[in-house]
Chain A
Amino acid sequence: MAAYLSMGEAHRRINDYLNRFADSVMSQDVGSLKSLLTLTADSPFLLAVADSISLVQDGNRLIKQSEKYSQLAEILVPLLRAIQCYRVNNLADAYHAFEKAANAFVQEFRNWDSAWALDAIYVVAYEIRVLAERADTKLSSEGKSPEKLKAAGSFLMKVFGVLAGKGPKRVGALYVTCQLFKIYFKLGTVHLCRSVIRSIETARIFDFEEFPNRDKVTYMYYTGRLEVFNENFPAADHKLSYALKHCNLRKEANIRMILKYLIPVKLSLGILPRDWLLEKYNLVEYSKVIQALQRGDLRLLRNALEENEDRFLRSGVYLVLEKLELQVYQRLLKKIYAIQKLKEPGKAHQLKLEVIIKALKWLEIDMDLDEVECIVAILIHRNLVKGYFAHKSKVVVLSKQDPFPKLTGKPMGS
């Protein structure tokens, strides 16, 4: 950017921008239109334009002067303002102006028969979300109430309505849906996802597979996360696995995000990942959990959970991991059973509670009879242990066939 900008140069730049915009619309050149709409990319061209607008106070007059621009005035006037506001870091106003411009653009788009500008809509949806996020960050840092992201959510719902009908524009619906997911997850209003999901999944006329791969992966990732919240692990496993399978292998960050949820889900289904996976995607926080599961080390599990409590709580897998405790108990009993089998094959299927209590004591976990009895009862109840508990003799009587059934992809029985 030039340190000093002459008026003429400023006018020229603004006119250049307007010209490009109008031309790209006329010629349906999405590529160039996209670049003109991408505020947050900080492209040198847009920055220069922003400086020019600041210099030329009557940028709007330039738009109205030419019929070519004035047709798009409803888009361009707020757009220029958004560019300028963004440049001076007035994010709230930038968002406001950009939403106005986006609204006008979406109205135009609605009137176009073809979906040539779909990519531009993507950019608009993305920009509006990112701008809103940044504006909210800034607002809350200034002690004001951040509400732009919420506004962006309702605006994108409108965009979704424009796209979600029949026809070629429907392809774009999933992208907007994903942007909405991002907003809702960020705002913590995931219940709002339901209506969008319903509209995507109940559309018979449109096969899910026809959506762009990128959107499908994102969509499955978010819906999988929703299923984790619902503790519907098989469904979560399905969706997250789909996302993992279709995710671009080079997008390691994305794969990591998927694995972050997929691993706990798989663990709760009794499937343990290999160590290299954790290492490759830097998910070592799970390694202790997995070790605990392998060893039946309750203390290790509890330590691991305690260590990463904040992280697990924020990502929402804490409760999932916590439930692995039962599997750790199962592993522990299995180990005791194996030891007894070595010592006394005849009575191996009879586990005394005292033994279990002793084992737990080694793990520095103090539990009395009643508690352990309760745990055993739950294990039996959940089908993690086959057998019965004799209250009188305080003995767990294991089934002779497969006393510790593996989950192998099935959720714990209830």
Chain B
Amino acid sequence: MMNQREKLFPPGTSPLEDRHVLEVRHDQSTSYPYSGTPSEGSSWPNYGVDNSHTQNGYPSNSTYGYEHHVLPSHKDSVNGATEASSLSLGSTSIGQDYNGYMTYQNSTDSSGYGNTGYTGYYSVYQQQPQNSYAQPVASYQSTSAPYHPPASYQNTGSCASSSSYSNTYYNPPIYQSPAGYSSSNYSNQTSQWNGATYSSYTQYPYSNYPPASTSAYSSSNASLSSAQYQPQYNQWAEHYAHAEVSCAPGTEKLSVTASSQVESVNSGITHGTTTTVSSQPTPPIAATWRPDTGSLEVPPPQPSGTVVVGYDAYWKHTASGYHNHHTPSGQSNYLQSSDAKAAYSNYPEEQKSAYNQSNLQYPQVPQSHQMSEQINTSATIQSVSRVQIPTNPRIVSNLALGLTKTEKAAPEAKPAYISVSYPKTNEKTSVGDATNSTLKPGVFPKSLRGYVERALARCKGDAQIAASQAVMKEIITNATTDGTLHTRDWDAEPLFPLPDVNNLSKESQTPTSFLLFKKSPTRRTKSRWEPVAEEKSAGVSTPKNNNAIRYGGWKQVTARDQKALVDSSEEKEDMVQAPSISNVEHKFANIQKRFKKPRLSVNVTATENGDASSDSDKDVNLTAEERKKRESRSKRFGKGRGNHAEKGHVKPKVAGLANLYTRRATAQVLSKPLDDSGSRAVEDIDWDSLTVRGTCQEIEKRYLRLTSAPDPATVRPEEVLEKALLMVQNSQKNYLYKCDQLKSIRQDLTVQRIRNHLTVKVYEIHARLALEVGDLAEYNQCQSQLKTLYTEGIEGCHMEFTAYGLLSVILHSHNVRDLLSLMSRLSSDAKQNAAVRHALAVRRAVTSENYVMFFRLYKTAPNLNSCIMDQYADKMRYRAVTCICKSHRPTVPVSYIAQILGFAHTMAATDENDEKESDGLEECAAWLKAHGACLISDNSGEAQLDSKASATTLYVPEPEDAVAHGDASLAVDDFLTSAPS
């Protein structure tokens, strides 16, 4: 659940959740009191839980309003169970429901339900989560059937399926969360649905629930639903609440807690899950519930008071409250059930009985519903919860059967649960508490609970409690991972040293959490297990719970379910408390969840749950006065929370986004906008705002091809680049080093989008360097860049490079069209330029194969024109010799060839002409021999080319320096020597 919350809301976002929660809570709170009144007795805790769930989960009021708007019929149905029957679905389903229930429970665990009405709804959702969902719904309907209220339920169910479901389903966002199916749907609906159905549900469930639900609780439906829901929850906290509501119908029925509270739906779901885990406990709970339900039904109007109590209890108990709840009856049952799987077998029976009871109760529930609705939303809520409860029992029985399965699925669902709790901050908190409590009772050994309680008992102050909870979470998590959770002797386990409060206080800084803490203490005094300490701890524990939730949504959820069932009233209170704290945490958890799905949290939550259970026990023991006090408190809370929740609503998403962003490297500027809008056209990006401004002051920088957005810290600004260029120009190092440096300069220029004289200069220098060493690839890059830079009007050695361009087209590409277009574009000024004229003359020489002219031009080439011609010289020589061999007879002196073919040209500069010529001769002779020419010496001893003999023997030798990849400058040895630089 934590995870979900986190996903939904970033840490900071908790306020949003709170807002939601608050609204919900208000409703809930009102409902709570009601529930409280009815349940007053032992049932209270349960009620309280339910209420709290509902409250937490979603404002019953808001939901109510929604319901009214959305589903008038539902309202009616809710109001009057009989009217509910008017909802054909509801009525029909009622009868069927029972049957369906049975079938559900028996056959489908989760899927069966889903199949009934849900399948359609959840085409997508059909998967386990869906199934469970569906089941809940089915259960809902069935429950509704049994109950008159069921009619309303059915309505709700039907509505949910039809209207509400569609809504939810439609909501794409919701959908996104796989687990969230229902939740999403629900969430959408929820707003409406939850209001109506939920409220009604909650009321009903509560009344009915307590009895049946307890059993149901633990088990099955809840678990199933929870599992399904959980995913949803995770993603959509808000939705969750709704989802829960929708689920609630089914789930509620199944899991009392879930169903009981509209909001609690979420919690209920969680409960359900928890129940699944702890399905065993449910039976006992069921027993407790029934009484509660009975009381609930009657009191609905009154419940508000009780509810309030529940709130208080929640607050106080938060974590511990759960324990208390459990302790009364449910706890023991839970424990037992959890311990002994046999409980499962019992479940069905119990459930059945519960069903019957629930049915019986249902009629009442409807009444209560009507009453409650009319009177107060809270009352309705309570009634709803009651109704749900009854259904839950059935579901529970079913669930119990399928619980094992559900449990399997549950792990996945857990995250969802967490999220569920998130959506409804209140609910969440409640859920969290519930999860804690439920988890603890169901999953964790008693001894562990005792351990936790002991640990918390010595805590002074909320901060310490929170800290110890955190520590315990870790311990339990470790134990779970170790597998020693159940084998370890927790009674003998030494307590960990008290954590530093200061650190803790930071954690619980959120105002809401503080509030919770403050309130929680009051309750704790009453809690059996750990009177004062627990109270404090409860406040603290909620945060922990949340954390726990984060860690393991599952266990928490299950725990919640259990708690909800057992301690519904208390849990509610706890939930309320927890929510605020948990909200913040949840946000974090959600965020975390987004990235990682929690797995370990279960253990932690379980421990917390144990605490909670103790609290719940306390709640059970509360006197009427206390309840009233609690009611008033809870009301206050609700308001306060409402504000928080409002804030939270807005913030969570934003915060979440912000969080996500912060996680990313600043360099990924581009990716952010993309994330924001989902998709963004490249052309929409404001490149100016993304242009890097370098801050690097290093003059020397190796070139590295960028594989990501540039980091300003490694990019040199223009002034530094100028220095770098100077450094390269004056460097005595080889070309590879210079090339590397120049490329890095070019890169920095490009990255900063600097296009000015410096850019031109860099490219010109690099192009010249490349030409000198014959690095055509690099030269071409520079040349093409220069071409665009020149056309942009940036001054440079335009003519020089025009000549280079002409020459390279003439000598390398041989593309007639390119040459023609280049020539036709030459301005008359350009044609007067020496370099360009030279290039044009070379072109003429080449096209006419005038080798004499070519090598004369070669010798007189300005700039680096000769460098380009260099590459063509050999070809030209070969052609010339071929030509000479064909045309000249009988011989041609090598000296002449050496002269006209430019072999002596390198010597021209030196003083010793003779040597030069001779050098040229030797070179020429060697070249001629290498190309297969026949050399003879005449009478005077001068070397002669035997043209006739050579005409047939000339060939082009393989270049000696050929490299496999065709670029000698990249030869390995050269590369290695250059590498160190």
Tell me if chain B binds chain A.
yes
Question: A319-B816, A373-B852 in contact; A389/B888 too (CB < 8 A)?
Answer: yes
- The binding surface of chain A is classed by DSSP as helix
CB pair A381–B847 under 8 Å, yes or no, is no
Distance between Cα atoms of A228 and B393 in the complex (Å): 93
Residue of A188, A310, A376, A391 near B821 (CB, 8 A) is A188
CB pair A371–B850 under 8 Å, yes or no, is yes
**Is B55's CB within 8 Å of the partner chain A?**
no
CB pair B823–A322 under 8 Å, yes or no, is no
Instruction: Across the interface, name the chain B residue whose C-beta is closest to A188.
Output: B821
Question: A229-B816, A323-B848, A391-B892 in contact; A374/B824 too (CB < 8 A)?
Answer: no
**Is B884's CB within 8 Å of the partner chain A?**
yes
CB pair B817–A319 under 8 Å, yes or no, is no
CB pair A318–B844 under 8 Å, yes or no, is no
CB pair A374–B820 under 8 Å, yes or no, is no
Residue of A325, A374, A379 near B853 (CB, 8 A) is A374
Within the complex, what minimum Cβ distance (angstroms) separates B843 from chain A?
9
Distance between Cα atoms of A190 and B849 in the complex (Å): 27
Report A-chain residues with C-beta under 8 Å of the C-beta of B852: 370-371, 373-374
Contact with A along B842-882 (1 / 0, CB 8 A): 00100111111100000000000000000000000000101
Report B-chain residues with C-beta under 8 Å of the C-beta of A319: 816, 819-820, 847
Contact with B along A355-373 (1 / 0, CB 8 A): 0000000000000001101
Distance between Cα atoms of A390 and B890 in the complex (Å): 7
**Is A231's CB within 8 Å of the partner chain B?**
yes
**Is A314's CB within 8 Å of the partner chain B?**
yes
Tell me which of B819, B851, B880, B886 has the highest count of chain A C-beta atoms within 10 A of its own C-beta: B886
Report B-chain residues with C-beta under 8 Å of the C-beta of A380: 886-887
**Is B891's CB within 8 Å of the partner chain A?**
yes
Instruction: Across the interface, name the chain B residue whose C-beta is closest to A390.
Output: B889
Q: Which residues of A (179-212) have their CB < 8 Å from a CB of B?
A: 188, 190
**Is B896's CB within 8 Å of the partner chain A?**
yes
CB pair A190–B888 under 8 Å, yes or no, is no
Within the complex, what minimum Cβ distance (angstroms) separates A274 from chain B?
28
CB pair B884–A377 under 8 Å, yes or no, is yes
CB pair B887–A389 under 8 Å, yes or no, is yes
**Is A178's CB within 8 Å of the partner chain B?**
no
Within the complex, what minimum Cβ distance (angstroms) separates B852 from chain A?
4
Report A-chain residues with C-beta under 8 Å of the C-beta of B890: 390
Distance between Cα atoms of A373 and B886 in the complex (Å): 13
**Is A405's CB within 8 Å of the partner chain B?**
no
Residue of B816, B824, B850, B888 near A388 (CB, 8 A) is B888
**Is B650's CB within 8 Å of the partner chain A?**
no
Instruction: Across the interface, name the chain A residue whose C-beta is closest to B897.
Output: A391
Report A-chain residues with C-beta under 8 Å of the C-beta of B851: 374
CB pair A314–B844 under 8 Å, yes or no, is no
Within the complex, what minimum Cβ distance (angstroms) separates B832 from chain A?
14
Q: Which residues of B (49-79) have their CB < 8 Å from a CB of A?
A: none
Residue of B820, B850, B884, B900 near A318 (CB, 8 A) is B820
**Is B930's CB within 8 Å of the partner chain A?**
no
**Is A313's CB within 8 Å of the partner chain B?**
yes
Report B-chain residues with C-beta under 8 Å of the C-beta of A161: none
CB pair A378–B889 under 8 Å, yes or no, is no
**Is A326's CB within 8 Å of the partner chain B?**
yes
**Is B773's CB within 8 Å of the partner chain A?**
no
Within the complex, what minimum Cβ distance (angstroms) separates B220 from chain A?
58
Distance between Cα atoms of A370 and B851 in the complex (Å): 10
Question: A373-B852, A381-B883, A391-B893 in contact; A313/B824 too (CB < 8 A)?
Answer: yes
CB pair B889–A388 under 8 Å, yes or no, is yes
**Is A316's CB within 8 Å of the partner chain B?**
yes
Distance between Cα atoms of A389 and B891 in the complex (Å): 10
Report B-chain residues with C-beta under 8 Å of the C-beta of A230: 816
Report B-chain residues with C-beta under 8 Å of the C-beta of A190: 817
CB pair B849–A378 under 8 Å, yes or no, is yes
Question: A229-B816, A319-B819 in contact; A377/B887 too (CB < 8 A)?
Answer: yes
Within the complex, what minimum Cβ distance (angstroms) separates A71 from chain B?
34
**Is A277's CB within 8 Å of the partner chain B?**
no
Report B-chain residues with C-beta under 8 Å of the C-beta of A5: none
Report B-chain residues with C-beta under 8 Å of the C-beta of A392: 891
Within the complex, what minimum Cβ distance (angstroms) separates B889 from chain A?
4
Residue of B823, B849, B853, B891 near A391 (CB, 8 A) is B891
Distance between Cα atoms of A229 and B815 in the complex (Å): 9
**Is A55's CB within 8 Å of the partner chain B?**
no
Report B-chain residues with C-beta under 8 Å of the C-beta of A313: 820, 823-824
Within the complex, what minimum Cβ distance (angstroms) separates A126 from chain B?
26
Distance between Cα atoms of A31 and B137 in the complex (Å): 69
Within the complex, what minimum Cβ distance (angstroms) separates A227 from chain B?
11
Instruction: Across the interface, name the chain B residue whose C-beta is closest to A326.
Output: B848
CB pair B816–A377 under 8 Å, yes or no, is no
Report A-chain residues with C-beta under 8 Å of the C-beta of B821: 188
CB pair B817–A377 under 8 Å, yes or no, is no
Within the complex, what minimum Cβ distance (angstroms) separates B302 from chain A?
65
Instruction: Across the interface, name the chain B residue whose C-beta is closest to A315.
Output: B820
Question: A371-B853, A390-B888, A391-B888 in contact; A323/B847 too (CB < 8 A)?
Answer: yes
**Is A375's CB within 8 Å of the partner chain B?**
yes
Contact with A along B700-742 (1 / 0, CB 8 A): 0000000000000000000000000000000000000000000
Distance between Cα atoms of A326 and B816 in the complex (Å): 19
Report A-chain residues with C-beta under 8 Å of the C-beta of B888: 377, 388-391
CB pair A378–B850 under 8 Å, yes or no, is yes
13 of the cross-chain contacts (CB-CB < 8 Å) are A230-B816, A313-B820, A316-B816, A316-B820, A319-B819, A373-B852, A377-B883, A377-B884, A377-B887, A378-B848, A379-B887, A388-B889, A391-B892
Known: A326-B848, A378-B849, A378-B887; 20 extra A-B contacts, CB below 8 A, are A188-B821, A229-B816, A313-B823, A316-B816, A316-B820, A319-B820, A322-B847, A323-B847, A373-B852, A374-B850, A374-B852, A374-B880, A375-B850, A376-B887, A378-B850, A381-B887, A388-B888, A389-B889, A390-B889, A391-B896
Residue ranges of B at the interface with A (Cβ–Cβ < 8 Å)? 816-817, 819-821, 823-824, 844, 847-853, 880, 882-884, 886-893, 896, 900
Closest A-B pairs by Cβ, 4 of them: A380-B887, A377-B887, A388-B889, A313-B824
